[in-house]
Amino acid sequence: MRGTTVLPGTACEVSKPGELPLHRLELTAQDALPFAVGTFDAIGPLSRATFPHRHTFHEIVFVTGGTGAHVVDFTRWELRPPQLAVIAPGQVHHWDVLQLTGSVLLFTDDFLLDHPADRELLRRLSERPCQPLDDRSYERTARLIAELEEEFRLGGPGSESVVRSLLHVLIVRAGRQPGTPEPRPPARANAVAAEFARLAARSDLGLWSVRAHAERIGVSPGYLAEAVKAATGRTAAHLVREARTREAKRFLLGTDLTVRQVASRVGFADPAYFCRFFRRETGLSPGDFRRTGDVTPEFHHE
């Protein structure tokens, strides 16, 4: 393989003790494609890691066999192969499975250069990260991924363009599956709202207010609030609180950081104020949430 996930304990993991492992795409050469595809065994042991972690890259998983569950941001998705799973950069996930089989595709945001609209589609797909496939969808997906893997492995003139194109087809077809969140109509306000959603998912940026997001995007806080409300029906302030709470949950369940340390990671100088904020948003104190290990089961209706 020309790329794989890095092993725990290497330079690719987060440097701060106690934080969630952060995996990146490892490239064997400076000019190698920021892309990898293969079976779980070929990609490496971390492709089915049983401990909570997150990535700096996108991951598409084509599950063809296995029993157990895939846990993504506190939601437990029971495996019912065949399924397609999409994990976005920054999401926390792990596998709780036996005999997991299938294929894994890893790629960075930069690899979507030819089809930038795919970023928004992948974000929407990651909101419902495990999609069951009917017989026809399974066969088409299996053929497409096999072709993608062969093209990537053999290389040759124009191979990079072909790989990008095949990946684009896979993403578009995934977006046609039932249950995919509806796209937003193209407009400047919706483009601003989509950029806000992308930034809100990037917890590493430390943007914990509507004003901070607006400054990063280059619009006024008022315009951002209007754009987000029109596109989503929800307020930007509510979505920022939701993102902040989600990140705090990730640290509480996935690390051994103290409540004070978690508060600092999500932008609270005062741990007491963080505890009040967390209780207001979740109904639980940070300590109670950590003790209960709140993971929500998700059931698919055939």
Do 43 and 50 form a contact (C-beta atoms < 8 A)? no
**Residues 214-251: pLDDT tens digits?**
898 888 888 888 888 888 888 999 999 999 999 999 99
pLDDT, position 169: 96
3-state SS assignment for residue 158: coil
pLDDT, position 149: 94
| % of the chain residues with pLDDT over 70 | 87
pLDDT, position 207: 84
pLDDT, position 210: 92
DSSP designation for 53: B
In the numeric block, the tokens 């437990």 are attached to 76
Q: Do 3-175 and 188-298 come out as alike in CATH topology?
A: no
Distance CA 132, CA 121 (A): 17
**Considering only CA atoms, which of 41, 48, 50, 53 is closest in space to residue 10?**
53
Residue 152: Cβ-neighbour burial (10 angstroms; 0-12, 13-18, 19+) = buried
pLDDT, position 31: 67
**Mean pLDDT of the region 17-33:** 76
Instruction: Name the least confident of 82-96, 155-169, 177-191, 226-240.
Output: 177-191
pLDDT, position 262: 94
Please report, for the chain, the start and end positions of each structural domain, with discontinuous segments joined by +.
3-175, 188-298
Distance CA 197, CA 213 (A): 10
CA 56 from centre of chain: 9
Do 17 and 24 form a contact (C-beta atoms < 8 A)? no
pLDDT, position 13: 43
pLDDT, position 294: 62
Question: Which CATH fold would you assign to the domain 3-175?
Answer: Jelly Rolls (2.60.120)
Mean pLDDT taken over the chain: 84
pLDDT-derived band at 64 (thresholds 50, 70, 90) equals very high
pLDDT, position 300: 41
pLDDT-derived band at 137 (thresholds 50, 70, 90) equals very high
The model's pTM is 0.68
CB count within 10 Å of CB 172 equals: 13
Question: According to the per-residue pLDDT averaged within each range, which of 67-71, 192-196, 217-221, 291-295 is highest?
Answer: 67-71
pLDDT-derived band at 185 (thresholds 50, 70, 90) equals very low
pLDDT-derived band at 4 (thresholds 50, 70, 90) equals very low
In the numeric block, the tokens 């089915």 are attached to 48
DSSP designation for 59: E
Distance CA 266, CA 108 (A): 25
**Residues 79-99: pLDDT tens digits?**
999 999 999 998 999 999 878
Instruction: Determine the residue type at 232.
Output: T
Distance CA 144, CA 162 (A): 12
CATH 3.40.50.180 matches 188-298:
no
**Residues 100-135: pLDDT tens digits?**
899 999 999 889 888 878 888 898 899 888 889 999
**Mean pLDDT of the region 203-224:** 85
pLDDT, position 28: 67
